[in-house]
Amino acid sequence: MAVVSVIGATGFTGRRIVTKLAARGHTVVAIGRDAERLAAACEGLVGVIERRVDLTEPGALPRALVGTSVAVAAVGPFTRYGSLMVAAALDAGVDLVDIAGEQSAVRAMIADYETAAVDAGVRLVPSAGFEFWLGDVLADLVAPIGDVDQIQVAYAVDASSGRGPTASRGTRRTVIDVVGREFIALANGRLVTQSIAETRRIAWFPRPVGPRHTIGIGGTECLSLPRRHPHLQTVETALAVPGWKAELLQACVPLVRRRRVRSALECWVDTRAREADDDRVAGARWSVVAEGRGRRSRARAWATGRDPYGCTADLVADVVERLEVGGGSPGVCSPAEVADPASMLDQLAGADRLRWGIVGDR
């Protein structure tokens, strides 16, 4: 089995990734900056090596990755730490599986590191988490159908009953960073700049979720899909939120763009906000749909399940194992390029992690 390093092993998602990889028999190098939290995260796990590393110390992370074949990046915001982890993976000559969902971080990875990764024979796989892995692979199944040239991907997460947050502190830090940034979407063959919640539409999710009001967000599907399907003219990503939340979010965008406001929010999340509630996260239902349209063709691929963070851990483990058997090519590649999307969805369905399907004019 592969020797896999997990950068950010003490975080909410990182702990789940370490546990999942260890359960599958991998030797895991758990990397974090706090020795006590590392010990707590790895307690009771077999085949896990604890390695304390300060990411900001020059040369520390590349040294920590020596001896591993794949590194998993689970530290955010990725706009802040992403380049450090990519550079370390290239320096150590190991493949990198990145759960980053920030569009700007993925754009920077492609622009700044793709040539170096190809030259080094290293595979960089961004967006390997719940968002935006599922939208990418579902859209990949829809794109070749008929004359489909427009794809809209939408995500929905519904918390189970009870109290406590369902988004981790890391996720909330990322949201603060993302809300204050403009993003791009592919619209009618042109890359256009948008702000969060600037566009609205209704998305049709599988039952029991059904139709939902959604807002435009900066997904990474518009970066990955046209590389594989250059005929696509429109690729947009959306998130289901109630109408009143959309209005509030849009009103807050100018405030969050102010450095002092953003810093205050990040400080509150780091020092006072509660961590996500494990039981509520495990019970949270999620749905993703990729709708494809052309002049004569219509198609929809969908997936639904529970526990988005647990799903991310499964997705990462699957991608790691596909890389180990030669999936993907050197450079920046999406999870859909690492393995056949349908086979990966079937594998997750077989593990009772999700249900999925596709309908349309084929």
Q: Which pLDDT value is given to residue 245?
A: 80
| Whether the model pTM is above 0.85 | yes
Confidence of residue 360 (pLDDT cuts 50, 70, 90): confident
Percent of the chain with pLDDT over 90: 60
45/163: higher pLDDT: 45
Q: Which amino acid is at 362?
A: R
Q: Are 244 and 127 in contact (CB under 8 A)?
A: no
At 253, the pLDDT band (50, 70, 90 cuts) reads: confident
CA distance 70 to 21: 12
Q: How confident is the model at residue 24 (pLDDT cuts 50, 70, 90)?
A: very high
Residue 162 clears pLDDT 70, i.e. is over it:
no
Residue 208 confidence (pLDDT): 81
Averaged pLDDT, 175-194: 87
Measure the CA–CA gap between 326 and 259, rounded to whole angstroms.
44
Angle in degrees, CA 71, 220, 331, rounded to 5: 45
Report helix angle 341-350 to 308-324, nearest 10. Answer: 130
pLDDT at 180 over 90: no
Rounded to 10 degrees, what is the CA torsion of 11, 17, 18, 22?
Answer: 170
* Cα 11 from Cα 8, distance rounded (Å): 6
Average pLDDT on 176-205 reads 88
Please give the pLDDT value at position 164: 62
Q: Considering only residues 255 and 84, tell me which one the structure prediction assigns the higher pLDDT.
A: 84
| Residue found under tokens 């900056």 | 33
**Averaged confidence pLDDT in the chain:** 89
| Residues sharing a CB contact under 8 Å with residue 53, sequence separation 6 or more, in sequence order | 7, 31, 32, 33, 60, 61, 64
* pLDDT > 80? residue 163: no
Q: Which of 77, 74, 78, 87 is closest to 29 using CA atoms? A: 74
**CA neighbours closer than 13 Å in the CB half-sphere of residue 156:** 26
Distance CA 266, CA 282 (A): 25
Segment among 162-171, 253-262, 300-309 with least mean pLDDT: 162-171
Pair type for strands 234-240 and 211-217: antiparallel
pLDDT of 21 above 60: yes
Q: Assess whether pLDDT exceeds 60 at residue 362.
A: no
185 φ, ψ to 5°?
Answer: -140, 155
Give pLDDT tens digits for 69-82.
999 999 877 888 88
In this prediction, residue 140 has a pLDDT band, given cuts at 50, 70 and 90, of very high
Exposure on the CB side of residue 45, measured as CA atoms within 13 A: 27
In the prediction, which pLDDT does 361 show? Answer: 64
Q: Does position 125 have pLDDT exceeding 90, yes or no?
A: yes
Rounded CA separation 224/163 (Å): 37
- Looking at residue 160, its pLDDT comes to 61
CA gap 206, 211 in Å, rounded = 8
- Centroid of chain to Cα 306: 16
Give tens-digit pLDDT for 195-251.
Answer: 888 889 999 998 888 899 999 999 999 999 999 999 999 999 999 998 888 888 878
Q: Are strands 123-125 and 95-98 parallel, antiparallel or unpaired?
A: parallel
Nearest to 250 by CA among 200, 180, 197, 199: 197
| Range in 132-141, 188-197, 253-262, 341-350 with the lowest mean pLDDT | 253-262
Q: How confident is the model at residue 167 (pLDDT cuts 50, 70, 90)?
A: confident
Quote the pLDDT of residue 126. Answer: 93
What sign for the dihedral angle of Cα 191, 292, 356, 202? positive
As a whole number of angstroms, the distance between CA 56 and CA 151 comes to 40
Quote the CA–CA distance of 176 and 171 in Å, as a whole number. Answer: 9
Query: Out of 102-106, 190-194, 270-274, which region has the weakest mean confidence (pLDDT)?
Result: 270-274
